[in-house]
Structure 1
Amino acid sequence: MKQNRQWILTAILTLWCSSATESWAQLQRTEDFHSRYTLTEAVVLSRHNIRSPLSGPESALGRITPHEWFDWSSAPSELSLRGGVLETMMGQYFRKWLVDEGLMKENETPAEGTIRFYANSMQRTIATAQYFSSGMLPVANITIEHHYDVGTMDPVFTPQLTTVSDDYRERALQQIAELFGNGEMAGIGQKMSVSYSLLEQVLDISRSMACQQGDTCNFKTDDTVVKLELNKEPGMTGGLKLACSAADALVLQYYEEPDKQKAAFGENLNEEDWKKLASILSRYGEVLFTAPLIAVNAAHPLLQEMLTELQTEGRHFTFLCGHDSNIASVLAALGVSDYELKGTIEQKTPIGCKLVVEKWLGTDGKEYAALNLCYQSVDQLRQLQLLTLENPPAVYSLRLEGLTANDDGLYLLSDLKKRLQERIDEYNSLTTGITTTRQEVASPIKT
């Protein structure tokens, strides 16, 4: 019965902290809510699940620690076996949720055009979408749409800058410095000094080959340089980039390695310590992709894709699979209020997380929308916990600055569509008087 079920994907916010930030809660939709609203569509923008580090231990990662990294089940940057299992579990949970909401039937084979699975053309994103679809639609034999040879970035999922001028670059860099470095680029690394020190301790960097050869004995706090170039992702050099690579490998190792102490190279780290390490990842992504001028540029094709999906007649479910940079830039472009997630060490865009846009039809004849971040908690990731309506993944209800939700925590769908269109138009205004080179997005679908 819906009255007694634990349903988190459509969790509504009922409590507010005294600081006016949103409380995190695992709540349920009530029978009263369901008597007034019917779920008609869900658009999901997903980060891939657990992957092996982007660099192998023989590269820079191996040089900055004397310890041996985890022996991964997959090639560098590819989805791990655990990642595939976890994503299948998430797909199974979505199946239970959507069946419970009446949006699909158990073991359904969807009619043509009612669902769409579209992934970036990287192994980890295609595989994530495939595993999710197997869990959600186990007998439907879903084909994952992707447009390029495997290993080639699709421009829709590439958070690149497709319009750049000298004035734009100057203003964007100033935004980054003000938001994350107290007005100066040097301030970005300085704010991360505590996390850097912990990372150096865990890596035992002073005994590493890199340090012994006089290369790297610590992560510099004053050398961050951000590069903004046409048709490239925002780039970075300096200590934060190197620290991010190492922290990323450690966090992924923590998810995969059953022995927590072994995952930390013998250190006894608590949850707060792991959050400090993961904060390096968050800050790296925030610096590169979430300044307003950067976000509307980098997220532009995905904003268009999401708006199109919300307007496609007959569509019930969409799964777009990309990266943390995609979710970070889309949320920033939409003007989502700042948040910190519970139950996870990655407090912005956890591994495998999903931005879920739910479309609801009210008995008043109006269409509404809810925005949530859905993710598996650290315990669910590490323990491979089965997800059910009674043991759901975590969800955080997002708030959009400048828009007002109703008493049920829902926004008018027209307001959300207007926000998407405004951000698309904002990108278009950046191109005025600027010569750009756009990569074509459309190409034959490869399966």
Structure 2
Amino acid sequence: MKKTVITACSLVLAAVIGSTGCGKISLKNPNMKNSETNSELKTEDNTEVKTETNTETNTETNTGATTEAKTEAKTEETTEAKTETTTEAKAETTAEDNTEANSEATSEVNAESNTETETNTGSTQNIDEEANAGGRIIDYDGYKLDQVVILSRHNIRSPLSGGDSLLGKITPHEWFNWTSAPSELSLRGGVLETQMGQYFRQWAEEEELIPTNYHPDNGQVRIYANSKQRTIATAQYFTAGMFPTAGLPVEYHMEFDKMDPVFTPQLTFWTDEYEKDAKDQIYEYYADAMKSLNDNYELLSDVIDLEESNGFKDQSITAFTAGDEEFSLKEGAEPGVSGSLKTACSVSDALVLQYYEESDTQKAGFGQELTYEQWKSISEIKDVYGDVLFTAPMIAVNVAYPLVSEIYDEMNTDGRVFTFLCGHDSNVGSVLAAIGAEDYELPNAIEKKTPIGCKIVFTKWSKGSEVFWSADLVYQTPSQLRNMPILDTDSNSPEIFHISFKNIKQNEDGLYKADEFMKIFLDAMDSYESLYQEYVEKAA
């Protein structure tokens, strides 16, 4: 297996840790629910930033959590796939963001505000989101932070397919002028990820996990990414912000821009009986969610003016209809779906990315002033797509097995201080589902499951001789994604959403005992082995 490394310092961007402000908000009682508040936002004043985004389509995961912080916030990638050219169109999707599909996968979205207003070509849009009033950190009084393991979705990319494929045929409107090639990390994505790295550096230094200007010894830090451009670049930018003077390498194992099996949400075993039972489980869990998408489809069709598109006129693309989906489950391939859900997911992904990139919200909506609720409705198509393909239990433990094993090994590697694994929304969703996370919807986000750039942050804490773990989703809000303010722990932090699990309980401080936390990973791996024995060995 090929192992390649690249260094981080070459991609350092000019984004510096800044400012002071409101006091820090620590996560003390993760059982308190975060609330969403309504606030109004006008669109941002004519500042234009070109950036890319890519359509990733197989999304990720029903997983959950409740979280608290003295001002709380919750936190939320998917898989790239060959999308569709005619009624569906060929487009890339990789194991990522809540919208990536068969060969690779999806995309995601988020939004935020401080009862703030952005100005858009003269119009006002209602934003239903929780105000981010200051700094938030993952912190537990009386405990010492000993280790961090992060599974990240890549940051903002261009859509997975170019304008000459499905996206160019399905609307008469012109898409945003993306700043990267299809599926690759955008300029905005690089800046945002550098800021996230700086935020984590400031937090890790304050928690005394690492010293200032940390140069780790061999084996203390590992940076490992899927071999796709957007994941390698995301890891590179994050490392530049987190360890700016250390020159750390980014490890990837496959030929450049090819999928690594560890990060590919593919079925590692399959039989006819398994396929039948897994499809039945998908419908058991998500039939209602799929049937309820007609209103979402109607809104999406109206925004893109579907009936005025060349594809609709030449009948290569048809109207979106809930219930016309057909699933494909095969060994060595990612779970797939055809029909309206797949096509609409590709368009939903591109629109959400366009919303993050385009400073004029009216242009982002192809001339329409969409409300925050309408943006969430558009993004919900991606969320359902990701859940359907990657989070049913029989699917999740199968596709996530390699990455669950990788995370478990990182948590138990002697001397490891910090691990950064970079993949896709489908990875985030399937891993959370496989290890039994409670269902959730993220606050202050358009993408409610695995927003672009989101990170599962596993943290190890000690108190005397006792050892504990915690899990949180950390993500930038839509306002942060659009406006790119400097992140810091004092006045402008990303959102943090504490994750709860079905089979283990937290202590009074919101932490999980180490042996019980390790068991949810071992149970996920055991479930995989049990399914394999039940279906493959029985079939043999």
Q: Same fold (TM over 0.5)?
A: yes
Alignment of 1:60-209 (within 5 A): 60-182=166-288, 189-209=290-310
Answer yes or no: is 1:6 the counterpart of 2:24.
yes
Q: What residue identity is the alignment partner of 1:388?
A: D
Offset at residue 189 of structure 1 (A): 3.6
Deviation digits for residues 422-443 of structure 1, max 9, x if unmatched?
Answer: 110110122226559xxxxxxx
TM-score by length of 2: 0.76
Match of 1:413 in 2: 514
CA distance in 1, matches of 2:371, 2:292: 21
CA distance in 2, matches of 1:181, 1:43: 35
Answer yes or no: is 1:366 the counterpart of 2:462.
no
Match of 2:130 in 1: none
Match of 1:254 in 2: 355
Change (3 A) 1:381 1:16: closer
Change (3 A) 1:14 1:297: closer
8 Å CA contact 2:31–2:68 kept in 1: the answer is: no
Q: What residue identity is the alignment partner of 1:58?
A: D
CA distance in 2, matches of 1:399, 1:104: 27
Residue 138 of structure 1 aligns to a residue whose secondary structure is coil
CA distance in 2, matches of 1:95, 1:21: 25
Deviation digits for residues 369-405 of structure 1, max 9, x if unmatched?
Answer: 1110000000000001110012110010010012110
Change (3 A) 1:30 1:318: closer
Match of 1:22 in 2: 66
8 Å CA contact 2:137–2:496 kept in 1: the answer is: no
Offset at residue 23 of structure 1 (A): 5.7
Q: CA RMSD in A?
A: 1.9
Residue 508 of structure 2 aligns to a residue whose secondary structure is coil
Deviation digits for residues 309-356 of structure 1, max 9, x if unmatched?
Answer: 110011010000000000000010111111111111001000000000
One of 147, 165, 169 as aligned partner of 1:59: 165
CA distance in 2, matches of 1:303, 1:7: 30
Identity of aligned residues (%): 48
Residue 333 of structure 2 aligns to a residue whose secondary structure is coil
Match of 2:504 in 1: 403
8 Å CA contact 2:435–2:523 kept in 1: the answer is: no
Offset at residue 6 of structure 1 (A): 1.4
Match of 1:439 in 2: none
Residue 249 of structure 2 aligns to a residue whose secondary structure is coil
Offset at residue 76 of structure 1 (A): 0.2
Match of 1:317 in 2: 418
Q: What residue identity is the alignment partner of 2:469?
A: A
Answer yes or no: is 1:327 the counterpart of 2:344.
no
Offset at residue 191 of structure 1 (A): 1.2
Change (3 A) 1:16 1:435: closer
8 Å CA contact 2:379–2:447 kept in 1: the answer is: yes
CA distance in 2, matches of 1:280, 1:265: 18
CA distance in 1, matches of 2:232, 2:504: 34
8 Å CA contact 2:34–2:68 kept in 1: the answer is: no
One of 445, 465, 487 as aligned partner of 1:387: 487
Q: What residue identity is the alignment partner of 1:374?
A: V
Deviation digits for residues 18-71 of structure 1, max 9, x if unmatched?
Answer: 9x983665456799x43x210000100000000000000110111010000111
Deviation digits for residues 254-273 of structure 1, max 9, x if unmatched?
Answer: 00000000001001101100
One of 129, 153, 173 as aligned partner of 1:47: 153
Change (3 A) 1:313 1:408: same
Residue 387 of structure 1 aligns to a residue whose secondary structure is coil
Match of 1:376 in 2: 476
CA distance in 2, matches of 1:206, 1:357: 47
Residue 346 of structure 1 aligns to a residue whose secondary structure is coil
TM-score by length of 1: 0.91
Q: What residue identity is the alignment partner of 1:15?
A: M
In structure 1, runs of 5+ residues without a counterpart are 183-187, 437-447
8 Å CA contact 2:137–2:489 kept in 1: the answer is: no
Q: What residue identity is the alignment partner of 2:309?
A: S
CA distance in 1, matches of 2:33, 2:171: 44
Offset at residue 215 of structure 1 (A): 2.8
Higher helix share: 1
Deviation digits for residues 402-426 of structure 1, max 9, x if unmatched?
Answer: 2110000000111111110111011
Change (3 A) 1:399 1:249: same
CA distance in 2, matches of 1:217, 1:425: 44
CA distance in 2, matches of 1:248, 1:322: 17
CA distance in 2, matches of 1:189, 1:371: 29
Alignment of 1:185-334 (within 5 A): 189-334=290-435
Q: Between Structure 1 and Structure 2, how many residues are aligned? A: 423
Q: What residue identity is the alignment partner of 2:441?
A: E
Change (3 A) 1:260 1:376: same
Residue 431 of structure 1 aligns to a residue whose secondary structure is helix
Offset at residue 230 of structure 1 (A): 0.3
8 Å CA contact 1:163–1:430 kept in 2: the answer is: no
In structure 2, runs of 5+ residues without a counterpart are 1-21, 36-63, 73-135
Residue 348 of structure 1 aligns to a residue whose secondary structure is coil
CA distance in 1, matches of 2:306, 2:459: 46
Residue 144 of structure 1 aligns to a residue whose secondary structure is strand
CA distance in 1, matches of 2:34, 2:198: 33
Q: What residue identity is the alignment partner of 1:84?
A: G
CA distance in 2, matches of 1:180, 1:11: 34
8 Å CA contact 1:368–1:410 kept in 2: the answer is: yes
Residue 252 of structure 2 aligns to a residue whose secondary structure is coil
Alignment of 1:421-436 (within 5 A): 421-432=522-533
Deviation digits for residues 240-260 of structure 1, max 9, x if unmatched?
Answer: 000000000000000000000
Offset at residue 222 of structure 1 (A): 2.1
Change (3 A) 1:171 1:268: same
Change (3 A) 1:434 1:231: same
Q: What residue identity is the alignment partner of 1:251?
A: V
CA distance in 2, matches of 1:168, 1:30: 40
